[in-house]
Homo-oligomer: A and B are copies of this chain.
Amino acid sequence: MAITFPAQVERWDVFEAAAAGREDGNPFTGRVIRGTFRSKSETVTADGFYDGGGVYRVRFMPSFEETYSFELSGDFSGNSAPEEARGSFTVTPPEKGNHGPVRVANQYHFAYEDGTPYYSVGTTCYVWELQSDELWKKTLETLAGSPFNKIRFCIFPKHYDYNLHEPRSYPYEGNPMDGSVLTKENFSRYSGAMPGNSWDFTRFNTEHFRHIDRSVRALRDLGIEADIIVMHPYDRWGFSTMKRGEDGLYWKYVVARYAAFRNVWWSLANEYDLMPQKTIADWEYYAAVLCEKDPYNHPRSIHNCRFFYDHSRPWITHCSIQRQDLYKSAENVTEWRQRYKKPVVLDEIAYEGNIEHGWGNISGKELVRRFWEASCRGGYAGHGETFMHPRNILWWSHGGELHGESPARLKFLSDILRETPGLGLSPMEGSWDETAARAEVRGNGENSFGGGAYYLYYYGFMRPSFRNYYYGESGEYQAELIDTWEMTIKNCGVFRGKFRIDMPGKEYMAVRVRGI
Protein backbone atom coordinates (compact mmCIF):
# COMPACT_ATOMS: atom_id res chain seq x y z
CA MET A 1 0.00 0.00 0.00
CA ALA A 2 1.36 3.42 -0.98
CA ILE A 3 1.56 5.89 1.84
CA THR A 4 3.52 9.09 2.08
CA PHE A 5 4.49 10.96 5.20
CA PRO A 6 7.27 13.25 6.39
CA ALA A 7 10.23 11.97 8.36
CA GLN A 8 9.96 14.71 10.93
CA VAL A 9 7.54 17.30 12.14
CA GLU A 10 7.66 20.19 14.54
CA ARG A 11 6.01 19.72 17.93
CA TRP A 12 2.34 20.80 17.81
CA ASP A 13 2.47 20.96 14.01
CA VAL A 14 0.35 18.76 11.75
CA PHE A 15 1.81 15.40 10.91
CA GLU A 16 -0.06 14.07 7.88
CA ALA A 17 0.09 10.63 6.31
CA ALA A 18 -1.53 10.23 2.89
CA ALA A 19 -2.59 6.84 1.60
CA ALA A 20 -3.92 5.79 -1.79
CA GLY A 21 -7.20 3.91 -1.49
CA ARG A 22 -10.36 2.89 -3.27
CA GLU A 23 -12.52 5.37 -5.14
CA ASP A 24 -15.50 3.14 -5.85
CA GLY A 25 -18.77 3.52 -4.04
CA ASN A 26 -18.90 6.44 -1.66
CA PRO A 27 -15.59 6.60 0.22
CA PHE A 28 -16.98 9.34 2.52
CA THR A 29 -19.55 6.99 3.98
CA GLY A 30 -18.30 3.53 3.00
CA ARG A 31 -14.63 3.61 3.98
CA VAL A 32 -12.71 4.11 7.16
CA ILE A 33 -9.16 5.22 7.83
CA ARG A 34 -7.62 5.94 11.17
CA GLY A 35 -4.18 6.24 12.63
CA THR A 36 -2.67 5.26 15.92
CA PHE A 37 0.36 7.25 17.03
CA ARG A 38 2.70 6.12 19.76
CA SER A 39 5.61 7.77 21.51
CA LYS A 40 7.15 7.31 24.90
CA SER A 41 4.64 9.71 26.45
CA GLU A 42 1.42 9.31 24.52
CA THR A 43 -0.70 7.04 22.38
CA VAL A 44 -3.31 8.75 20.26
CA THR A 45 -5.83 7.36 17.82
CA ALA A 46 -7.17 9.81 15.27
CA ASP A 47 -9.73 9.37 12.52
CA GLY A 48 -8.60 10.19 9.01
CA PHE A 49 -10.70 11.40 6.10
CA TYR A 50 -11.17 10.91 2.39
CA ASP A 51 -9.80 13.82 0.39
CA GLY A 52 -11.04 12.81 -3.08
CA GLY A 53 -9.13 11.33 -6.02
CA GLY A 54 -8.48 8.10 -4.16
CA VAL A 55 -6.44 9.88 -1.47
CA TYR A 56 -7.04 9.26 2.22
CA ARG A 57 -5.34 11.33 4.87
CA VAL A 58 -4.72 10.98 8.59
CA ARG A 59 -3.58 14.01 10.54
CA PHE A 60 -1.97 14.07 13.95
CA MET A 61 -0.62 16.74 16.27
CA PRO A 62 2.29 15.43 18.39
CA SER A 63 2.54 16.84 21.88
CA PHE A 64 6.03 15.60 22.72
CA GLU A 65 9.47 15.97 21.25
CA GLU A 66 9.90 12.24 20.89
CA THR A 67 10.08 9.59 18.23
CA TYR A 68 6.66 8.41 17.16
CA SER A 69 5.60 5.25 15.42
CA PHE A 70 2.24 4.97 13.78
CA GLU A 71 0.00 2.58 11.97
CA LEU A 72 -2.93 3.29 9.69
CA SER A 73 -5.92 1.00 9.83
CA GLY A 74 -9.35 0.75 8.25
CA ASP A 75 -10.85 -0.55 5.02
CA PHE A 76 -9.83 2.35 2.81
CA SER A 77 -7.69 0.18 0.52
CA GLY A 78 -10.49 -2.27 -0.04
CA ASN A 79 -8.57 -5.41 0.79
CA SER A 80 -10.51 -8.10 2.58
CA ALA A 81 -8.44 -7.75 5.75
CA PRO A 82 -7.99 -4.37 7.43
CA GLU A 83 -5.09 -2.62 5.84
CA GLU A 84 -2.17 -1.67 7.92
CA ALA A 85 0.58 0.73 7.08
CA ARG A 86 3.30 1.64 9.49
CA GLY A 87 5.98 4.22 9.83
CA SER A 88 7.81 6.43 12.24
CA PHE A 89 8.82 10.02 12.47
CA THR A 90 10.68 12.39 14.72
CA VAL A 91 9.22 15.42 16.45
CA THR A 92 11.47 18.46 16.53
CA PRO A 93 11.27 21.39 18.94
CA PRO A 94 8.71 24.08 18.24
CA GLU A 95 9.96 26.99 16.21
CA LYS A 96 9.62 30.59 17.28
CA GLY A 97 5.97 31.61 17.63
CA ASN A 98 4.77 28.05 18.09
CA HIS A 99 3.49 27.77 21.66
CA GLY A 100 1.16 24.84 21.13
CA PRO A 101 -2.61 24.79 21.40
CA VAL A 102 -4.49 27.17 23.68
CA ARG A 103 -5.89 25.73 26.91
CA VAL A 104 -7.96 27.02 29.80
CA ALA A 105 -5.13 27.51 32.24
CA ASN A 106 -6.44 28.74 35.59
CA GLN A 107 -10.22 28.52 35.41
CA TYR A 108 -10.85 31.99 33.93
CA HIS A 109 -7.96 32.54 31.55
CA PHE A 110 -6.09 30.91 28.70
CA ALA A 111 -2.51 29.92 28.07
CA TYR A 112 -0.74 28.11 25.29
CA GLU A 113 0.38 24.63 26.11
CA ASP A 114 3.97 25.80 26.61
CA GLY A 115 2.73 28.09 29.40
CA THR A 116 2.78 31.36 27.52
CA PRO A 117 -0.30 33.40 28.52
CA TYR A 118 -2.85 33.86 25.79
CA TYR A 119 -4.88 37.09 26.00
CA SER A 120 -7.66 36.71 23.50
CA VAL A 121 -8.31 39.73 21.30
CA GLY A 122 -10.67 38.22 18.80
CA THR A 123 -12.41 39.37 15.69
CA THR A 124 -15.23 37.98 13.59
CA CYS A 125 -15.13 37.52 9.79
CA TYR A 126 -17.81 34.92 9.26
CA VAL A 127 -16.93 33.78 5.74
CA TRP A 128 -13.70 35.59 5.00
CA GLU A 129 -12.18 32.42 3.63
CA LEU A 130 -15.00 31.83 1.13
CA GLN A 131 -14.32 35.07 -0.77
CA SER A 132 -12.16 35.58 -3.87
CA ASP A 133 -8.45 34.80 -3.81
CA GLU A 134 -7.71 38.50 -3.93
CA LEU A 135 -9.86 39.28 -0.91
CA TRP A 136 -8.59 36.19 0.92
CA LYS A 137 -5.03 37.44 0.56
CA LYS A 138 -5.99 40.96 1.55
CA THR A 139 -7.65 39.68 4.72
CA LEU A 140 -4.54 37.77 5.70
CA GLU A 141 -2.43 40.86 5.06
CA THR A 142 -4.74 42.92 7.22
CA LEU A 143 -4.72 40.33 9.98
CA ALA A 144 -0.92 40.26 9.89
CA GLY A 145 -0.89 43.93 10.85
CA SER A 146 -3.76 43.71 13.33
CA PRO A 147 -3.92 43.01 17.06
CA PHE A 148 -6.21 40.02 16.58
CA ASN A 149 -5.12 36.61 17.80
CA LYS A 150 -8.44 34.81 17.29
CA ILE A 151 -10.87 34.89 14.39
CA ARG A 152 -14.33 33.40 14.21
CA PHE A 153 -15.46 32.01 10.87
CA CYS A 154 -17.79 29.42 9.35
CA ILE A 155 -17.28 26.33 7.26
CA PHE A 156 -20.68 26.69 5.63
CA PRO A 157 -21.35 29.72 3.45
CA LYS A 158 -23.47 32.52 4.83
CA HIS A 159 -26.83 33.75 3.59
CA TYR A 160 -27.78 37.04 5.20
CA ASP A 161 -28.01 40.75 4.70
CA TYR A 162 -24.86 41.90 2.86
CA ASN A 163 -24.19 38.19 2.19
CA LEU A 164 -26.23 37.37 -0.90
CA HIS A 165 -23.43 36.54 -3.36
CA GLU A 166 -22.24 32.99 -3.91
CA PRO A 167 -19.30 31.66 -1.90
CA ARG A 168 -16.13 30.57 -3.71
CA SER A 169 -17.14 26.96 -3.14
CA TYR A 170 -19.69 24.76 -1.40
CA PRO A 171 -19.06 22.06 1.16
CA TYR A 172 -20.96 19.38 -0.76
CA GLU A 173 -21.16 18.07 -4.27
CA GLY A 174 -24.19 19.46 -5.99
CA ASN A 175 -25.67 22.75 -7.08
CA PRO A 176 -27.14 25.77 -5.32
CA MET A 177 -30.42 27.52 -5.93
CA ASP A 178 -30.36 30.49 -8.27
CA GLY A 179 -29.10 33.34 -6.10
CA SER A 180 -29.89 36.02 -8.66
CA VAL A 181 -33.42 36.32 -7.31
CA LEU A 182 -32.18 37.62 -3.99
CA THR A 183 -32.47 41.22 -2.88
CA LYS A 184 -31.88 43.08 0.33
CA GLU A 185 -35.63 43.20 0.73
CA ASN A 186 -36.50 39.57 0.09
CA PHE A 187 -33.50 37.57 1.29
CA SER A 188 -34.98 36.81 4.69
CA ARG A 189 -37.76 34.84 3.04
CA TYR A 190 -35.14 32.34 1.88
CA SER A 191 -34.11 30.09 4.71
CA GLY A 192 -33.01 26.49 5.02
CA ALA A 193 -33.52 23.93 2.23
CA MET A 194 -34.98 26.10 -0.55
CA PRO A 195 -36.21 24.76 -3.90
CA GLY A 196 -33.51 24.77 -6.55
CA ASN A 197 -30.81 23.35 -4.33
CA SER A 198 -29.52 19.88 -5.12
CA TRP A 199 -26.82 18.59 -2.82
CA ASP A 200 -25.47 15.20 -1.97
CA PHE A 201 -25.01 15.47 1.79
CA THR A 202 -22.98 12.25 1.70
CA ARG A 203 -20.27 13.60 -0.61
CA PHE A 204 -18.07 16.45 0.51
CA ASN A 205 -16.56 18.90 -1.93
CA THR A 206 -12.99 18.26 -0.95
CA GLU A 207 -11.67 21.39 -2.66
CA HIS A 208 -13.87 23.45 -0.27
CA PHE A 209 -12.24 21.78 2.68
CA ARG A 210 -8.74 21.89 1.21
CA HIS A 211 -9.20 25.63 0.91
CA ILE A 212 -10.18 25.79 4.56
CA ASP A 213 -7.06 23.72 5.35
CA ARG A 214 -5.04 26.45 3.69
CA SER A 215 -6.95 29.11 5.58
CA VAL A 216 -6.44 27.52 8.98
CA ARG A 217 -2.77 27.02 8.19
CA ALA A 218 -2.37 30.62 7.08
CA LEU A 219 -3.94 31.79 10.34
CA ARG A 220 -1.69 29.49 12.31
CA ASP A 221 1.33 31.00 10.61
CA LEU A 222 0.13 34.43 11.75
CA GLY A 223 -0.31 33.22 15.33
CA ILE A 224 -4.08 33.50 15.09
CA GLU A 225 -6.50 31.01 16.63
CA ALA A 226 -9.10 29.73 14.17
CA ASP A 227 -12.39 29.70 16.08
CA ILE A 228 -14.28 27.49 13.64
CA ILE A 229 -18.05 27.93 13.63
CA VAL A 230 -19.25 24.49 12.61
CA MET A 231 -22.99 25.23 12.29
CA HIS A 232 -25.07 28.35 11.82
CA PRO A 233 -28.59 29.42 10.83
CA TYR A 234 -27.85 31.85 7.95
CA ASP A 235 -28.64 29.44 5.19
CA ARG A 236 -30.50 29.19 1.87
CA TRP A 237 -28.95 25.90 0.79
CA GLY A 238 -30.21 23.48 3.41
CA PHE A 239 -26.93 23.01 5.29
CA SER A 240 -28.67 24.05 8.49
CA THR A 241 -31.49 21.53 8.11
CA MET A 242 -29.71 18.29 7.42
CA LYS A 243 -30.72 15.11 9.22
CA ARG A 244 -28.96 13.80 12.33
CA GLY A 245 -26.96 11.25 10.29
CA GLU A 246 -25.86 13.88 7.79
CA ASP A 247 -24.89 16.23 10.58
CA GLY A 248 -22.91 13.44 12.23
CA LEU A 249 -21.06 12.69 8.99
CA TYR A 250 -20.23 16.37 8.65
CA TRP A 251 -19.04 16.75 12.24
CA LYS A 252 -16.78 13.71 11.98
CA TYR A 253 -15.32 14.95 8.71
CA VAL A 254 -14.63 18.40 10.11
CA VAL A 255 -13.02 17.07 13.27
CA ALA A 256 -10.90 14.57 11.31
CA ARG A 257 -9.66 17.32 9.01
CA TYR A 258 -8.99 20.14 11.47
CA ALA A 259 -8.36 18.79 14.94
CA ALA A 260 -4.66 18.33 14.28
CA PHE A 261 -4.18 22.07 13.72
CA ARG A 262 -2.95 23.50 17.00
CA ASN A 263 -4.75 26.80 16.45
CA VAL A 264 -8.25 25.34 16.13
CA TRP A 265 -11.10 26.22 18.51
CA TRP A 266 -14.55 24.72 18.09
CA SER A 267 -17.64 26.87 18.11
CA LEU A 268 -20.54 24.45 17.83
CA ALA A 269 -22.73 27.17 16.39
CA ASN A 270 -23.23 30.82 15.89
CA GLU A 271 -26.57 31.79 17.40
CA TYR A 272 -27.57 28.20 18.10
CA ASP A 273 -30.94 29.42 19.35
CA LEU A 274 -31.87 30.69 15.88
CA MET A 275 -31.91 27.06 14.72
CA PRO A 276 -35.19 25.79 16.15
CA GLN A 277 -34.83 22.68 14.01
CA LYS A 278 -32.01 21.59 16.31
CA THR A 279 -32.83 20.41 19.81
CA ILE A 280 -30.67 20.49 22.89
CA ALA A 281 -30.28 16.74 22.33
CA ASP A 282 -28.86 17.52 18.90
CA TRP A 283 -26.31 19.95 20.32
CA GLU A 284 -25.34 17.48 23.00
CA TYR A 285 -24.91 14.86 20.28
CA TYR A 286 -22.58 17.11 18.28
CA ALA A 287 -20.68 17.86 21.48
CA ALA A 288 -20.37 14.15 22.19
CA VAL A 289 -19.02 13.49 18.69
CA LEU A 290 -16.57 16.33 19.13
CA CYS A 291 -15.38 15.19 22.54
CA GLU A 292 -15.00 11.64 21.28
CA LYS A 293 -13.24 12.50 18.03
CA ASP A 294 -10.99 15.43 18.94
CA PRO A 295 -7.96 13.83 20.62
CA TYR A 296 -6.50 17.20 21.55
CA ASN A 297 -9.26 18.76 23.59
CA HIS A 298 -9.37 22.05 21.72
CA PRO A 299 -11.48 24.85 23.27
CA ARG A 300 -15.21 24.22 22.79
CA SER A 301 -18.05 26.74 23.01
CA ILE A 302 -21.51 27.52 21.68
CA HIS A 303 -22.65 31.04 20.91
CA ASN A 304 -26.14 32.45 21.45
CA CYS A 305 -28.39 35.03 19.92
CA ARG A 306 -30.90 35.69 22.67
CA PHE A 307 -30.64 32.80 25.10
CA PHE A 308 -27.44 31.40 26.50
CA TYR A 309 -26.78 27.72 26.17
CA ASP A 310 -26.12 26.22 29.60
CA HIS A 311 -22.46 27.14 29.77
CA SER A 312 -22.06 24.99 32.87
CA ARG A 313 -22.21 21.87 30.67
CA PRO A 314 -18.94 19.99 31.22
CA TRP A 315 -17.98 19.86 27.56
CA ILE A 316 -18.05 23.67 27.30
CA THR A 317 -14.57 24.98 28.02
CA HIS A 318 -15.46 28.69 27.98
CA CYS A 319 -18.49 30.93 27.62
CA SER A 320 -18.82 32.31 24.10
CA ILE A 321 -21.29 35.09 24.67
CA GLN A 322 -23.32 37.40 22.53
CA ARG A 323 -24.51 40.21 24.76
CA GLN A 324 -28.19 39.96 25.56
CA ASP A 325 -28.83 43.60 26.33
CA LEU A 326 -28.51 46.54 23.96
CA TYR A 327 -26.97 48.75 26.63
CA LYS A 328 -25.13 46.55 29.08
CA SER A 329 -22.69 43.96 27.86
CA ALA A 330 -19.14 43.80 29.13
CA GLU A 331 -20.34 45.10 32.49
CA ASN A 332 -21.87 41.67 33.09
CA VAL A 333 -18.60 39.78 32.85
CA THR A 334 -18.20 39.70 36.62
CA GLU A 335 -21.61 38.09 37.02
CA TRP A 336 -21.07 35.57 34.22
CA ARG A 337 -17.70 34.53 35.63
CA GLN A 338 -19.36 33.88 38.97
CA ARG A 339 -22.23 32.00 37.38
CA TYR A 340 -20.26 29.71 35.08
CA LYS A 341 -16.80 29.52 36.69
CA LYS A 342 -15.20 29.48 33.25
CA PRO A 343 -13.47 31.96 31.00
CA VAL A 344 -15.92 34.53 29.63
CA VAL A 345 -15.34 35.53 26.02
CA LEU A 346 -17.72 38.17 24.68
CA ASP A 347 -17.52 37.09 21.08
CA GLU A 348 -20.23 39.52 20.04
CA ILE A 349 -20.86 42.87 21.73
CA ALA A 350 -21.84 44.91 18.65
CA TYR A 351 -19.45 45.95 15.91
CA GLU A 352 -17.83 49.22 15.05
CA GLY A 353 -19.59 50.53 12.00
CA ASN A 354 -22.49 52.40 10.53
CA ILE A 355 -24.87 49.92 8.94
CA GLU A 356 -28.54 50.07 9.72
CA HIS A 357 -28.58 47.25 12.25
CA GLY A 358 -28.05 48.01 15.93
CA TRP A 359 -25.58 45.16 16.28
CA GLY A 360 -23.35 46.77 13.68
CA ASN A 361 -23.13 50.48 14.23
CA ILE A 362 -21.42 51.45 17.44
CA SER A 363 -18.44 53.77 17.57
CA GLY A 364 -14.86 52.71 17.94
CA LYS A 365 -14.87 54.45 21.30
CA GLU A 366 -17.78 52.41 22.57
CA LEU A 367 -16.30 49.15 21.29
CA VAL A 368 -12.96 49.88 22.91
CA ARG A 369 -14.76 50.82 26.13
CA ARG A 370 -16.45 47.43 26.10
CA PHE A 371 -13.10 45.71 25.60
CA TRP A 372 -11.56 47.51 28.57
CA GLU A 373 -14.62 46.90 30.68
CA ALA A 374 -14.50 43.18 29.87
CA SER A 375 -10.74 42.97 30.38
CA CYS A 376 -10.77 44.67 33.78
CA ARG A 377 -13.46 42.26 34.89
CA GLY A 378 -11.31 39.30 33.95
CA GLY A 379 -13.03 38.52 30.67
CA TYR A 380 -12.33 38.90 26.98
CA ALA A 381 -14.11 40.76 24.22
CA GLY A 382 -14.40 40.38 20.48
CA HIS A 383 -14.13 42.87 17.66
CA GLY A 384 -16.08 43.18 14.45
CA GLU A 385 -16.50 45.88 11.85
CA THR A 386 -19.51 46.75 9.71
CA PHE A 387 -19.01 49.92 7.75
CA MET A 388 -21.07 50.62 4.67
CA HIS A 389 -18.89 49.83 1.65
CA PRO A 390 -19.38 50.59 -2.05
CA ARG A 391 -18.85 46.91 -2.93
CA ASN A 392 -20.45 45.55 0.23
CA ILE A 393 -17.17 44.25 1.61
CA LEU A 394 -17.73 44.30 5.34
CA TRP A 395 -14.95 43.01 7.56
CA TRP A 396 -17.50 41.25 9.79
CA SER A 397 -18.30 38.76 7.05
CA HIS A 398 -15.86 39.20 4.21
CA GLY A 399 -12.64 40.42 5.71
CA GLY A 400 -10.67 42.78 3.50
CA GLU A 401 -9.45 46.00 5.03
CA LEU A 402 -10.13 47.52 8.42
CA HIS A 403 -11.60 51.01 8.41
CA GLY A 404 -12.37 51.64 12.05
CA GLU A 405 -10.74 53.43 14.92
CA SER A 406 -10.78 50.52 17.35
CA PRO A 407 -8.04 48.17 16.08
CA ALA A 408 -5.16 50.49 16.98
CA ARG A 409 -6.62 50.86 20.49
CA LEU A 410 -7.10 47.12 20.79
CA LYS A 411 -3.44 46.68 19.95
CA PHE A 412 -2.66 49.09 22.79
CA LEU A 413 -4.91 47.14 25.15
CA SER A 414 -3.44 43.86 24.01
CA ASP A 415 0.08 45.10 24.78
CA ILE A 416 -1.03 46.14 28.26
CA LEU A 417 -2.77 42.83 28.90
CA ARG A 418 0.39 40.99 27.98
CA GLU A 419 2.22 42.94 30.67
CA THR A 420 0.01 41.40 33.35
CA PRO A 421 2.16 39.48 35.83
CA GLY A 422 1.20 35.83 36.13
CA LEU A 423 -1.84 34.98 34.09
CA GLY A 424 -4.94 37.06 33.75
CA LEU A 425 -6.79 39.86 35.48
CA SER A 426 -9.38 39.17 38.15
CA PRO A 427 -12.18 41.50 39.09
CA MET A 428 -11.48 43.16 42.41
CA GLU A 429 -13.94 44.77 44.78
CA GLY A 430 -13.25 48.43 44.17
CA SER A 431 -15.28 51.54 44.60
CA TRP A 432 -18.78 51.42 43.14
CA ASP A 433 -17.74 53.88 40.44
CA GLU A 434 -14.74 52.12 38.97
CA THR A 435 -13.91 48.79 37.41
CA ALA A 436 -11.02 47.39 39.36
CA ALA A 437 -8.84 44.44 38.48
CA ARG A 438 -5.89 42.74 40.10
CA ALA A 439 -3.45 40.31 38.61
CA GLU A 440 -3.55 36.66 39.45
CA VAL A 441 -0.32 34.98 40.31
CA ARG A 442 -0.13 31.53 38.78
CA GLY A 443 0.32 28.30 40.57
CA ASN A 444 0.45 28.35 44.32
CA GLY A 445 1.49 32.00 44.61
CA GLU A 446 -0.76 34.57 46.20
CA ASN A 447 -0.88 38.26 45.49
CA SER A 448 0.15 40.30 48.47
CA PHE A 449 0.23 44.01 48.99
CA GLY A 450 3.64 45.41 48.37
CA GLY A 451 5.94 43.71 45.94
CA GLY A 452 4.07 41.90 43.20
CA ALA A 453 0.84 43.82 43.60
CA TYR A 454 -0.70 44.79 40.28
CA TYR A 455 -3.93 46.77 39.99
CA LEU A 456 -5.72 48.15 36.98
CA TYR A 457 -8.62 50.61 37.34
CA TYR A 458 -10.84 51.60 34.46
CA TYR A 459 -13.19 54.58 34.50
CA GLY A 460 -15.03 54.12 31.21
CA PHE A 461 -17.37 56.98 30.38
CA MET A 462 -16.73 58.63 33.73
CA ARG A 463 -14.42 61.61 33.80
CA PRO A 464 -12.85 62.04 37.23
CA SER A 465 -10.36 64.87 37.66
CA PHE A 466 -8.60 62.84 40.31
CA ARG A 467 -8.91 59.64 42.30
CA ASN A 468 -7.45 58.51 45.59
CA TYR A 469 -5.66 55.21 46.21
CA TYR A 470 -4.55 53.50 49.37
CA TYR A 471 -2.98 50.10 50.00
CA GLY A 472 -1.98 50.48 53.60
CA GLU A 473 0.87 52.42 55.12
CA SER A 474 3.68 50.11 54.10
CA GLY A 475 5.01 49.51 50.64
CA GLU A 476 5.78 51.72 47.67
CA TYR A 477 3.65 51.89 44.59
CA GLN A 478 4.34 53.05 41.12
CA ALA A 479 1.30 54.55 39.39
CA GLU A 480 0.59 55.20 35.74
CA LEU A 481 -2.21 57.10 34.08
CA ILE A 482 -3.38 55.39 30.92
CA ASP A 483 -5.38 57.16 28.24
CA THR A 484 -6.94 54.14 26.58
CA TRP A 485 -8.12 56.13 23.59
CA GLU A 486 -5.12 58.37 22.97
CA MET A 487 -2.92 55.36 23.74
CA THR A 488 -0.59 57.09 26.15
CA ILE A 489 0.86 55.90 29.44
CA LYS A 490 2.08 58.57 31.85
CA ASN A 491 4.29 57.68 34.77
CA CYS A 492 2.78 59.47 37.79
CA GLY A 493 5.59 58.59 40.16
CA VAL A 494 6.10 56.47 43.25
CA PHE A 495 3.79 56.75 46.25
CA ARG A 496 3.36 55.56 49.83
CA GLY A 497 0.25 55.48 51.99
CA LYS A 498 -2.72 57.46 50.70
CA PHE A 499 -2.10 59.08 47.39
CA ARG A 500 -3.98 60.94 44.73
CA ILE A 501 -3.67 60.67 40.99
CA ASP A 502 -4.68 63.74 39.04
CA MET A 503 -6.49 62.99 35.84
CA PRO A 504 -7.60 65.12 32.89
CA GLY A 505 -11.36 64.80 33.46
CA LYS A 506 -11.70 62.88 30.19
CA GLU A 507 -13.47 59.67 29.33
CA TYR A 508 -11.70 56.34 28.86
CA MET A 509 -8.93 56.71 31.41
CA ALA A 510 -7.31 53.91 33.36
CA VAL A 511 -4.84 53.83 36.22
CA ARG A 512 -2.29 51.09 36.74
CA VAL A 513 -0.62 50.66 40.12
CA ARG A 514 2.27 48.28 40.75
CA GLY A 515 3.94 47.42 44.01
CA ILE A 516 7.68 47.98 43.79
Task: Please give the residue numbers on chain A whose beta carbons come within 8 Å of chain B beta carbons, in ascending order.
Answer: 325-328, 331, 353-359, 361-363, 366, 388, 431-434, 461-468, 505, 507
Contact residues in B for A432 (Cβ distance below 8 Å): 326, 358
Indicate which residue in B328, B362, B431, B464 contacts A461 across the interface (CB closer than 8 Å). Answer: B362
Expressed in whole angstroms, the Cα–Cα distance for A431 and B326 within the complex equals 12
Known: A327-B331, A328-B328. A463 touches B357 (CB 8 A): no
Expressed in whole angstroms, the Cα–Cα distance for A358 and B466 within the complex equals 11
**Cross-chain contact B465 with A354 (CB below 8 angstroms):** yes
Known: A328-B328, A331-B327. A363 touches B466 (CB 8 A): no
Closest residue of chain B to A306 (Cβ to Cβ) is B432
**Cross-chain contact A465 with B326 (CB below 8 angstroms):** no
**Cross-chain contact B388 with A505 (CB below 8 angstroms):** yes
**Cross-chain contact A464 with B327 (CB below 8 angstroms):** no
Closest residue of chain B to A325 (Cβ to Cβ) is B328
Contact residues in B for A363 (Cβ distance below 8 Å): 461, 463, 507
A373 → B minimal CB distance (Å): 9
Scoring A362, A468, A505 by chain B CB atoms within 10 A of each residue's CB, the highest score goes to A505
Known: A363-B507, A388-B505, A461-B366. A326 touches B433 (CB 8 A): yes
**Cross-chain contact B326 with A327 (CB below 8 angstroms):** no
**Cross-chain contact B356 with A466 (CB below 8 angstroms):** yes
A496 → B minimal CB distance (Å): 17
Contact residues in B for A358 (Cβ distance below 8 Å): 431-434, 462, 464
The 8 tightest CB contacts between A and B, nearest first, are: A358-B433, A354-B505, A361-B463, A356-B464, A354-B465, A354-B463, A361-B462, A327-B331
New A-B pairs, 13, CB < 8 Å, besides A354-B505, A362-B461: A326-B433, A327-B327, A355-B464, A356-B465, A356-B467, A356-B468, A357-B433, A358-B432, A358-B462, A358-B464, A361-B465, A362-B463, A366-B461
Scoring A366, A462, A466 by chain B CB atoms within 10 A of each residue's CB, the highest score goes to A462
Contact residues in B for A326 (Cβ distance below 8 Å): 331, 432-433
